[in-house]
Structure 1
Amino acid sequence: MLEVCNLSFSYGEVGLFQNLSFSLNSGQVRVILGPSGSGKTTLLHLLAGLLHIQQGDIRWLGQSIRGQNEETLAQRRLRFTGLVFQHHYLQAELTALENILVPGYLAGAVDVAWGRELLHRIGLLERAHLRPNALSGGERQRIAVARALYNRPKLLLADEPTGSLDRRNAERIWALMLSLAQDLGTAVIVATHDEHLVQGLPELRLA
């Protein structure tokens, strides 16, 4: 489903990683660990097609993304990947439900019933009409997770998704994200500093 082949990346003379290779199948989880500056976020951006590949290759469903034009890649990304970040990046003027539906509008296929089902699964259906400023930090991040999974992506990429939350909310978001992804058969790659939260999961450690 996802194949990474001899991937190398550097900023100027600073090499972040070299000859990185791994694969991921539907429903699998992989954790990226490493100190700040080791390239965790850069790797996620490469996997999402948000950075140009310098060396090596990345394949989505067997097809290389290297050298594809931005418009084609953006359309493929919309269907193949879901993205969750440390900050929720919700649209302040939209309600909780409307924020979840954004990927559907971008893909030209809006399913309000599915958006409400996701709200139900994350325990926020009764808050569908509220805007982000009326929600707690944990609630906003739950909305961000639901939004990332709205298009039923093959791959969910999460960059420190619980980094700004307290321990209780972090554990709740983590369990929720994995549960929803498992229900959809979505593979998950998470970059995090929190080794306790991801203990026991397959890991990829960057120096």
Structure 2
Amino acid sequence: MNPTLEVQGLGFSYGEIRLFEEVSFALHPGETRAILGPSGSGKTTLLHLLAGLLALQEGEVLWKGERIRGYSEGALARRRLSYAGLVFQHHYLQAELTALENVLLPGYLAGKVDPAWGHELLARVGLEGRAHLLPQALSGGERQRVAVARALYNRPQLLLADEPTGSLDRRNALRVLELMLGLAAQLDTAVILATHDEQLVAGMEELRLGGP
């Protein structure tokens, strides 16, 4: 069986600045890997390459054995919508939409709107009573939990999380991380988590950028 994500010899440079080279690994359903490194080491760039949001320079990225380099921009966007979920440091919720409507947004884009599933996801992240509220009525931790539910709405095979707890205090960070990884495990979703916080991901398999 092909891995969910296969990375072969990735390298990337910004002008004369070499961020990383020869990055290779494979990730199977339900597996989690932490990408560690200081600010500027290339963590976000690597995630954008894995998501097909940035053009490859060196190496290949494969989703279930298919090279994403071969997709047109439009075809890759459609494939990403169903295959990969994205969580960022800032929640990027739509201010005019309720928590439930934000969770359902990927469904509208994919033509698969299921309010019952949206409510279930909010319940799983502990927000079953907050579905009707706009983002400004939610705390920072609650907004990020809505963002996690939104990223998993289309039951993606791959979840890419870029410093998803970076703007939260330690208590909320641990809560969001626990919920995100627990829900992804239930869906058998492979997870790549980029962070500078080594304590947060202690015990996870690591890929380290920008130093030993």
Q: TM-score, normalised by structure 1?
A: 0.99
Unaligned runs of 5+ in 1: none
The one-letter code sitting in structure 2 at the alignment partner of 1:189 is I
**62, 73, 80: which one aligns with 2:65:** 62
Q: SS of the counterpart of 2:202?
A: coil
Q: SS of the counterpart of 1:66?
A: helix
CA distance in 1, matches of 2:23, 2:171: 34
CA distance in 2, matches of 1:79, 1:154: 8
Aligned residues: 207
Structure 1 ranges of 4+ moved more than 2 A: none
Q: Does 1:43 align with 2:46?
A: yes
Q: SS of the counterpart of 1:196?
A: coil
Q: SS of the counterpart of 1:127?
A: coil
Tell me the equivalent position of 2:160.
157
Unaligned runs of 5+ in 2: none
Tell me the equivalent position of 2:55.
52
Deviation (angstroms), 1:67: 3.9
> Which string of whole-angstrom CA distances, capped at 9 and with x for unpartnered residues, describes residues 150-170 of structure 1?
000001000000001011000
Q: Does 1:76 align with 2:79?
A: yes
The one-letter code sitting in structure 1 at the alignment partner of 2:201 is V
Q: SS of the counterpart of 1:38?
A: coil
> Which string of whole-angstrom CA distances, capped at 9 and with x for unpartnered residues, describes residues 157-201 of structure 1?
000000010110000001000000000000000000111110011
Q: SS of the counterpart of 2:96?
A: coil
CA distance in 2, matches of 1:164, 1:13: 31
1:1-207 equivalence runs, <5 A: 1-207=4-210
Q: TM-score, normalised by structure 2?
A: 0.97
Kindly report the root-mean-square deviation, in angstroms, between the aligned alpha carbons of the 2 structures.
0.6
Q: SS of the counterpart of 2:172?
A: helix
CA distance in 1, matches of 2:99, 2:38: 34
> Which string of whole-angstrom CA distances, capped at 9 and with x for unpartnered residues, describes residues 92-136 of structure 1?
000000000000000011011000000111111111100000000
CA distance in 1, matches of 2:162, 2:20: 18
